[in-house]
Amino acid sequence: MRESTTPPGRLPPRVRIAPSPTGDPHVGTAYIALFNFVFARKYGGRFVLRIEDTDQERSTASSEAAILEALRWLGFEWEEGPDVGGPHGPYRQSERLGIYQAHVQRLLDGGHAYRCFCTRERLDALRREQIEAKASHLGYDGHCRALSPDEGARRAADGEAHVVRLRVPSEGETSFFDHLRQETIGFQNEQIDDQVLVKSDGFPTYHLANVVDDHLMGITHVIRGEEWITSTPKHVLLYRAFGWEEPCFFHLGLLRNTDRSKLSKRKNPVSIFHYRDLGYLPETLLNFMATLGFSMGDDRERFTLDEMITAFEWSKVSAGGPVFDAAKLDAFNGADIRAMDVDTLHRRLLETTLAPERLRALLFHAKERIARLDDVVPYISFAFGAEVDYGPVLDKVKIKKRSRQDVIDVLERFAEEIERDPAARTFEAAALEAFSRGFCERSGWKAKDLFTLLRIAVTGRTAAPPLFDTMAICGKDRCRLRIRDLIGVLGGVADW
Ligand code: GLU
């Protein structure tokens, strides 16, 4: 066994995850959470959850609640966070605006930031010019850099719309050490944009809020995905401008599909709820994700979270692109189910797939349509399992005056647009119905035709309980999966 090495930075560590509540709880967030959590537990540190909701338009309370629920389902606990409080709160950025204002003033006073009054039109024209001229760097041209602070302050006081930008040194290089990769990563300053720190709505951008909070919350190690590597030099410049000690940075590899492209919902379900609702065991999902970037040091792939914590050290973590291989996850999950005794399996089913509230919702609809109690299981079977068999109903997918391509397009569009509708995204029956009716108006599809199609896609049947109740009971992820499956099946069918 390799000797245990002391990690860099201040110990015990204070680490955090900082999800933005703008969609479904993503497996990528769980992956990052896992490494933060394990590191904190290994060295007796604290794991903090912070909600980064500075994007006012895209952040929703329901997404925040879903993220917390999903992380708890996986077994994570945090010592500080918006729901449990803590000494460095509030833990929701939208409640910390005064803090950012005070800090940006410090940057303005020190000349590290400046007010920029450029209009959208000017910035758009600049961008077009840069693209046309094939400029090596697309970005702000520093037009407002020369404004005197007094003039900037006066125009701002007069109510003129503006943003605040970071004054990036025009020469030299900004670098940081990545402790996972064990290398110094440097960026030419001329390639770093004068990043907007405060938007015209007065809200901070991610960069400012993230650095201010990491400092004020005493974060010692920033462990996040590699998609933030290009942001880190901006953060380093901010730490220096404030005169603060930098945390240690670790950038983990981004989850990938088996073809090595970035994990995306087109190829792989990415919502943690998908895995929960289809009956993956949380401890198995965690073990699976751990194996993507961590090795125990021997060839053991099956281990518990506690075993991972005991064995953890950074030298066992790899930065290479972790491949989310769903077949491997299935193999792990199946093995874990087989290893359970029947009583445990029974108990776990009653907590999940066959939970009383779920069954009750199904029985409410089934009782109207069954003659014998025994009919109930075949009747409610559409609500279980990932796939349905479209074979028997495929000829019903033919909609008058609609080509097969129309059908494929409308299903795709429906599945995509639902994601962008904050109410429908919650998948409650009433919201689904309102959305679907609006969708029909927008797309020119008759409600009857579209609803038939959706019923077939979601249940594999032409008759089922009321469509929107059915969709709500099946759940968003199962519906999405099935709509995608039907699209695939149609792609394979000869032209109508
Ligand atoms: N809000 C960022 C996110 O959504 C946080 C990135 C970071 O950890 O710095 O992932």
Which tokens belong to 8? Answer: 């860099």
Q: Domain 96-246: give its CATH architecture.
A: Alpha-Beta Complex (3.90)
pLDDT at 493 over 60: no
Q: Ligand 1: does its nearest atom lie under 6 Å from the Cβ of 224?
A: yes
Q: Ligand 1: does its nearest atom lie under 6 Å from the Cβ of 221?
A: no
* 8 Å CB contact between 32 and 328: no
**What is the value of pTM for the model shown?**
0.93
- Ligand 1 mean position, distance from CA 18 (Å): 5
Q: How does DSSP classify residue 6? A: P
- Domain 383-491 sits in CATH at 1.10.10.350
Q: Ligand 1: does its nearest atom lie under 6 Å from the Cβ of 18?
A: yes
190 — pLDDT class (breaks 50, 70, 90): very high
Could you give the angle at which helices 476-491 and 467-474 cross, rounded to 10 degrees? 110
Q: Which atom of ligand 1 is nearest to the CA of 223?
A: 8
- What tens digit of pLDDT does each residue of 51-76 get? 999 999 999 999 999 999 999 999 99
* 8 Å CB contact between 16 and 40: no
Q: Give me the mean pLDDT over the 42-58 stretch.
A: 96
* Whole-number percent of the chain with pLDDT over 90: 88
- Ligand 1 mean position, distance from CA 204 (Å): 14
Nearest CA to ligand 1 atom 10: 19
Question: Hey, what CATH topology would domain 14-84+255-327 get?
Answer: Rossmann fold (3.40.50)
- What tens digit of pLDDT does each residue of 374-403 get? 999 999 999 999 999 999 998 888 888 889
User: How far lies 211's CA from each of 9, 118, 222, in Å?
Assistant: 17, 25, 10
DSSP state string for 399-447: -TT--HHHHHHHHHHHHHHHHH-TTGGGT-HHHHHHHHHHHHHHHT--H
- What tens digit of pLDDT does each residue of 96-117 get? 999 999 999 999 999 999 999 9
- Ligand 1 mean position, distance from CA 274 (Å): 22
The verdict on whether 448 is a catalytic residue reads no
Quote the mean pLDDT of the chain: 94
Q: Ligand 1: does its nearest atom lie under 6 Å from the Cβ of 228?
A: yes
Q: Give me the mean pLDDT over the 214-222 stretch.
A: 98
User: Nearest-CA neighbor of 75 among 296, 328, 355, 308?
Assistant: 308
CA dihedral 306→308→310→314, nearest 10 degrees, is: -150
Q: What is the pLDDT of residue 55?
A: 94
496 — pLDDT class (breaks 50, 70, 90): very low
Q: How many CB atoms lie within 10 A of CB 163?
A: 22
Domain spans in the chain, listed from the N-terminal domain onward: 14-84+255-327, 96-246, 383-491
Pocket-testing residue among 206, 211, 214, ligand 1, by greatest number of atoms within 8 A of Cβ? 206
**Residue whose structure tokens are 């929703």:** 60
* 8 Å CB contact between 208 and 101: no
Q: Which residues contact 466 (CB under 8 A, 6 or more apart)?
A: 365, 429
pLDDT at 249 over 90: yes
Which tokens belong to 431? Answer: 């919201």
- What tens digit of pLDDT does each residue of 224-246 get? 999 999 999 999 999 999 999 99
User: Nearest-CA neighbor of 28 among 58, 84, 64, 71?
Assistant: 71
Could you give the angle at which helices 356-366 and 467-474 cross, rounded to 10 degrees? 160
**Distance between CA 2 and CA 23 in Å, rounded?**
41
Radius of gyration of the chain, Cα coordinates, nearest whole angstrom = 26
Exactly one of 42, 234, 265, 476 is catalytic; name it: 265
Q: Ligand 1: does its nearest atom lie under 6 Å from the Cβ of 210?
A: yes
* 8 Å CB contact between 86 and 105: no
CA 289 to chain centre: 15
419 — pLDDT class (breaks 50, 70, 90): confident
Beta-bridge partners for 174: 187
* 8 Å CB contact between 194 and 204: no
Q: How does DSSP classify residue 256? A: B
